[in-house]
Amino acid sequence: MRRYIEDGIIQESHLGDTDLIGERIGQFHRNYPGTRQGIISYFEILFGDPSGFCYSTAMERESFYSDPAFRAELLSRLHLRIDLPLDEIREHLKKSALETGAATLEQISQWEAIGYAQ
């Protein structure tokens, strides 16, 4: 329960209401099913289909787009310039995902067709 409280899914004041806790945790798992298994490239995390992501992966994606400090830290870890434009980040990560086999050209084409990888 502590993790759900820390992540803001429930509040400590909810701990006595098991129906509310069940509802909140159920909704959380419907939103973040965590069904995506295997190697997930940064291209997929940032530009692919997020529907099967677990919570932490979904939050990493959200932070990339909403938090400049997080983006700079991630780009540094990936040995990329922190001021790299989004289209160049996307192309670099796409190339890396294809080279490593973490994503296929078919998957990327589907994500691009749907609009995820734009």
| pLDDT score recorded for residue 105 | 92
**Percent of the chain having pLDDT more than 70?**
97
Q: Three-state SS across the chain?
A: CHHHHHCCCCCHHHCCCHHHHHHHHHHHHHHCCCCCCCCCCHHHHHHCCCCCCCHHHHHHHHHHHHCHHHHHHHHHHCCCCCCCCHHHHHHHHHHHHHHHCCCCHHHHHHHHHHCCCC
Q: Has residue 1 got a pLDDT over 80?
A: no
| pLDDT score recorded for residue 65 | 95
Task: Please indicate, yes or no, whether the overall pTM of this predicted structure exceeds 0.75.
Answer: no
Domain boundaries in the chain? 2-31, 42-114
Mean pLDDT of the chain: 88
Q: Has residue 117 got a pLDDT over 70?
A: no
